[in-house]
Structure 1
Amino acid sequence: MVEEEARQGQGVTPAEGMEDDSTSFFDPTRFKILAIGVVAALAGLMSGIDIGVVSGALAFFGKQFHASTLALSWVVSSMMAGAAVGSVSAGWLSHHMGRKRALILGAAVFAVGAAGCALSWSIPSMIAFRVVMGVAVGLSAFTAPLYLSEIASEDSRGAMVSTYQLMLTVGIFVAFLSDTYFSYSGDWRWMFGVAAFPAALFLIGVLFLPYSPRWLVMQGRHREARQIMLDLRNDPLEAAKEIQAIRLQLETKQDGWKLFRTNSNFRRSVGLGIMLQAMQQFAGINIVMFYAPKILEYAKFDTQSQVWCTAIIGMVNMFATFVAVGLVDRWGRKPILYVGFTVMAIAMVVLGCLLHSGMGSSGAQMAAVFVLMVFCAGHAMSAGPLMWVLCSEIQPIGGRDFGMAASTLTNWVTNMIVGLSALTLMETLGAAGTFWLVGALNALFLILTILLVPETKGMALAVIEERLMKGVKLRKLGR
């Protein structure tokens, strides 16, 4: 049956399919998949720019509108509120509209939000447009990795999906560089407006992307799915097998809410996913991403030094992500998390001590920047990407959509809490006290990782699910 399907479409036989350019130095099919991956991953670039841009623009915007600490906190956190809404609606939209159309919608909404932020005339208008941008970020953050995983071949899926997280860190770095450039004029409107350009580029690029073959099969459009899969694979037989595998997978109906209500073991995996995302955000990375210039102000840096040091921190955050991609399948998940949480806990305690000492010398200032870079590297190589990997591995197939939705919502809600409370904490506890608190939280997360997080390296998802449903302890679900 599979071989027969492979001969359909444009009348290509398996033998003929093997005579393509796969043996040549330049493989058009691989190049096409790479191009599709880069375009789809631009959603991560947009999200990263939105996360990063506010750190440099906040001081200039606040000065012009005489914003209070609470108002500035809402400017930052309103994006995460919108992202929570976007992530909740993303599953329904990507199912009914299709992954491609959902990405088009996300790009268009993002462009509107970025332009609105640049043209804001008051604090409430800025908050409103930040919510709009957040909706686009939440929608894209859910849909882009989903689309990438459904377009990629089996041997390239990990790398393709990882490009989203990588592009996210690139976006943060680009935003920090842009903020640095415009900081000389103090033009916060251009800092926000720059985000509209990659959104427009992404919108144009997505128009030329193919539909997801999996989504087409879900809609009963099997001929179209087969044609696109043939176009994305060198081997027609491989394409037919993938279509058949998709059909078999779709026989397992998703009814996560019912499973959540009736199965305590599934509730354990959902709870673990929620805990992992809360750990990722309360580890403190977005205190640095959102408020790095403010932190450096406490360290007695002048305005220009603040934005340049912030850009350097963003660069470290970007390059450290490569470490996680290279080590996750060699070291395993838990050893990397052990290193990450240990490094972050020590870095935050040391930073608190430096700030408590009064930052009386240039050496102390440089030490503070170095500690911030070490902290960001620790997060980017561990909790940043690995929490998403673990969340996708621990959910049983019958409730995967529900479990991932709960994890994603938790990520944005806790992100919003961090954005909303960080400035207030630094004013009430002091900068040193705030970072000592973050250091203590990272020490707690190290303990929780030891006690509750499973090691899933090299484990088949079916085996993890079987052990979960038998009631095996969470930390023993894997190796």
Structure 2
Amino acid sequence: MAAPTSRSSRSASPGERNPDHGDSHGQERKPDREPEQGQADGRPEAPPRSLTAKRFIVAIAAIAALGGALFGYDTGVVSGALPFMEGHFGLTSLSEGVITSALLIGAAFGSLAGGRMADALGRRNSLLWAGAVFIGGAVAVALAPTVAFMIVARFVLGLAVGSASVITPLYLSEIAPSHIRGRLVSFNSLMIVSGQLLAYLVNAVLAHWEAWRWMLGLAALPAVALFLGVLFLPDTPRWYISRGRPDEAAAVLRRTLAAADVPDELARIQQARHLEVDAQRGAWQELQLPWVRRLLLVGIGLAIVQQITGVNAVIYFAPKILATTGLGTNAAITATIAIGAISVIATAIGMSLIDRVGRRPMLLWGLSGMTVALALLGAAFHLPHSTGVSYLVLGLMVLYMGFMQATLNTGVWLLLAEMFPLKVRGLAMGAAVFVMWVVNFGIALVFPLLLDAVGAGVTFWLFSAMCILSLVFCKRYAPETKGLALEDLEQELRKAATESAPGTATEG
């Protein structure tokens, strides 16, 4: 296992010989010997990770992960708005599914655009674009006068949600030192579920006035915060290197690592990039390599696994699900707060474990727990309707979401941000997330129809069966990426994919 960075006896790498270029935003040049922020000086004996560096990483995570919070809010808020939109617009089960899924098909195309933009324009500029569309989309859905306008507005909002779903974890994975990369990328997952919890809380408060337009429109506030915050962010060292800007890459590294670690980390990134340039292949040609194509197929498989196990059916339609047990509309909307709360708690637990336990064990244990919870949930719907049964169903939904958010959700997003080589990382992650959103779209469209056709019990048993299939897939194919720097990880995955027989799991 490679250390996050390694010490070297040489004084500086070629990319570090002129350290007075300021940061990536062209700030005032500094003297060669000026002390590093948060350190007594810039020499090797400085603390390996200064307080200032930690603050810088936390600030980056907080601002960038607003994209995750908006992702969560915009996907979660529809659950509380739908019951009142149903009365306002006269919605059927099909039109409910179309309105819900319009955001998701937009997110599918947004994820493709996000991956390409992240590679071409940079991670920072792509986040700025997403923030602007978040603002416009939130205002549009809040003011929608007709169902058709609402569908189009939700599609546009989905473009921002999908692009943010690719760019945010990509940005965080590339800005973070390897020893905290898993926790920092998982922080984006925490912000997603925190955004969903916020949506449930807002829904519960505004449900008393049936103020569904305010539920949808309030997403504009964090969208403005995201847009303004990103203005102060640098781009990632890996993107700067990919564009031949090593001085800017070094400037960012000096803000996240000790000065003694910067030359080796810069050299590591440059070496990985030089290997790719020497190969003289474009991103699409790179995807034709068998080992890269195999990784892409595994990534797409993981994206499908995350969706076919039912998580978003619960997130989007929790009040509708609870209403089938006899619970009233306002009570059902309020009850979903428990689902949001357990999602936040479980994601925080998953963040604390992911870098210690590893990605594969988290996926396998989580899917096992989800299988049992969904099987019991399906059985609960065959009990006579009563208040007790309503809260039993809620409890089992909470149990299922706890397993899901602590393990599968956290692990899949992290693996997708880590497992692809630099040259195709944005494109490959965009393709995998595109498939994720397409499957999400299909489930959101079909789920209300399934409830009407076969009932909630059979529907959740189907999800339980999907968990079993997903467990088999992850046990066989999911890679382990714990503790490796992205460039070292690329070499390990290349070796495993080329030397292992087809179908052999990559243990990392």
* Same structural fold, with TM-score higher than 0.5 when normalized by the shorter chain: yes
Tell me the amino acid that sits aligned with residue 94 of structure 1: A
Mark the CA change 1:396 to 1:379 in structure 2 (over 3 Å): closer, same or farther.
Answer: same
Q: Distance in 2 between matches of 1:95 and 1:471?
A: 30
Q: Distance in 2 between matches of 1:314 and 1:410?
A: 25
Name 1:12's counterpart in structure 2: 32
Name 2:25's counterpart in structure 1: none
- Which range moved further: 263-272 or 135-144? 263-272
1:401 is displaced (CA, Å) by 4.1
- CA offsets 1:261-318 (integer angstroms, 9 cap, x no match): 4x44443322222111111100000000000000000111112210111011111011
% identity of equivalent residues: 32
Matched, 1:181 2:205: yes
Name 2:26's counterpart in structure 1: none
What are structure 1's unaligned runs of at least 5 residues? none
SS in 2 for 1:447: helix
Matched, 1:153 2:174: no
Matched, 1:444 2:469: yes
Equivalent residue in structure 2 for 1:244, among 259, 267, 277: 267
Name 2:285's counterpart in structure 1: 258
Q: Distance in 2 between matches of 1:404 and 1:36?
A: 21
Matched, 1:283 2:306: no
> Please, what is the CA RMSD of the aligned residues?
2.6
Tell me the amino acid that sits aligned with residue 2 of structure 1: A
Equivalent residue in structure 1 for 2:436, among 395, 404, 411: 411
Name 1:344's counterpart in structure 2: 370
Tell me the amino acid that sits aligned with residue 205 of structure 1: G
Matched, 1:465 2:485: no
Q: How many residues align?
A: 476
CA contact (8 A) 2:109 2:159 kept: yes
Tell me the amino acid that sits aligned with residue 373 of structure 2: A
1:113 is displaced (CA, Å) by 0.2
SS in 2 for 1:372: helix
Name 2:7's counterpart in structure 1: none
1:242 is displaced (CA, Å) by 3.2
Tell me the amino acid that sits aligned with residue 118 of structure 1: A
Mark the CA change 1:170 to 1:300 in structure 2 (over 3 Å): closer, same or farther.
Answer: same
Q: Distance in 1 between matches of 2:251 and 2:355?
A: 33
Equivalent residue in structure 2 for 1:372, among 386, 397, 405: 397
- Which range moved further: 171-180 or 207-216? 207-216
Tell me the amino acid that sits aligned with residue 470 of structure 1: E
Mark the CA change 1:151 to 1:268 in structure 2 (over 3 Å): closer, same or farther.
Answer: closer
1:458 is displaced (CA, Å) by 5.7
Mark the CA change 1:376 to 1:64 in structure 2 (over 3 Å): closer, same or farther.
Answer: same
Name 1:165's counterpart in structure 2: 189
- CA offsets 1:334-373 (integer angstroms, 9 cap, x no match): 33323222222222222222212232x3322221111000
Comparing both structures, which one devotes a greater share of its residues to helix? 1
Name 2:131's counterpart in structure 1: 107
Q: Equivalences for 1:210-249 in 2 at 5 Å?
A: 210-230=234-254, 232-233=255-256, 235-249=258-272
SS in 2 for 1:358: coil
Q: Distance in 1 between matches of 2:417 and 2:501?
A: 18
- CA offsets 1:80-134 (integer angstroms, 9 cap, x no match): 1111111111122223322222111111100100000000001111111111111
Q: Distance in 2 between matches of 1:141 and 1:147?
A: 11
Which structure has more relative contact order (CA 8 Å, sep 6+)? It is: 2
What are structure 2's unaligned runs of at least 5 residues? 1-10, 21-29
